[in-house]
Structure 1
Amino acid sequence: MKTIRTILLAGAMLLSANAFAQQYGPKDEGRRFNDGSKVVCKNVEVQRSSKDSNRILGTATGAVVGGLLGNQVGKGNGKKVATVGGAVAGGLIGRKVQGDSQERKGDRVVERRCERVYR
């Protein structure tokens, strides 16, 4: 019982610390503090309302199609190598195609995020 109370207390302390964390925006970029830290901003890609944020469907579909196409090439061990190579290449292409589609639809956007950096 004592362990559970300790865990709950630690969790509450973490939540309260995060509630008071300072948020910085692009207007704060370059701001310096007395402790030598400053606010640094950078562009990051952010996922918005996408059901398949890891692009699994595009990767899997591309891998299957690429594997089937690769299987049509060669004989013996060459056929196996072509199948695996086709699956890998198809997976990469499928992932890229899905990512481009999500970007066009606005599912993936670039945002400016700022944080305090201690040096």
Structure 2
Amino acid sequence: MKASRIALSLGLMSIMTVAGAQTYGPQDDGRRFNDGSKVVCKNVEVQKNHRDPNRVAGTAVGAVVGGLLGNQVGSGSGKKAATVGGAIAGGAVGRKVQGNQQETKGDRVVESRCERVYP
């Protein structure tokens, strides 16, 4: 019974916090408040990668290639460790390579971001 009351009060507090959060859009640019703060909007360039934002393909291909290369090294239990290490390292390298390609080939769009600025 006590745990359910705690959970209920925490849930109500989180709802109140979300309800009190304010978002601002371009229509609010320059809006002033009684505390001296105002809304300032800026146009920022944002990169959008629609195809594979989590870089799953690069990570998977890198892990497979790294595991195959690691499997060629050592013998016995050392071979297993080299395979696992190669897969981990290959996955990291594949993720990085895909990220670099997405950085140069990604779609760039301009978005207006607005925030409340305090003096």
TM-score of the alignment, normalized to the shorter chain, above 0.5: yes
Q: Does the 8 Å CA contact 2:24/2:115 hold for their aligned counterparts?
A: no
Matched, 1:85 2:85: yes
Q: Does the 8 Å CA contact 1:59/1:90 hold for their aligned counterparts?
A: yes
Deviation string for 1:75-114 (max 9, x for gaps)? 1111111111111110110011001001111347797844
Gaps of 5+ in 2: 1-18
Given residue 101 of structure 2, which amino acid in structure 1 is its aligned partner?
S
Q: Give the match for residue 59 of structure 1.
A: 59
TM-score by length of 1: 0.59
Q: Give the match for residue 105 of structure 1.
A: 105
SS of 2:116's equivalent? Answer: strand
**After the TM superposition, which parts of structure 1 deviate over 6 Å for at least 4 consecutive aligned residues?**
108-112
In structure 2, C-alpha distance between the alignment counterparts of 1:87 and 1:93, rounded to whole Å: 10
Q: Does the 8 Å CA contact 2:25/2:113 hold for their aligned counterparts?
A: no
Deviation string for 1:17-57 (max 9, x for gaps)? 8xx94225xx86xx974336566889x99442421111000
Root mean square deviation of aligned Cα: 3.7
Given residue 24 of structure 2, which amino acid in structure 1 is its aligned partner?
Q
- Percentage identity across paired residues of the two chains: 74
Gaps of 5+ in 1: 1-16
Q: Does the 8 Å CA contact 2:46/2:108 hold for their aligned counterparts?
A: yes
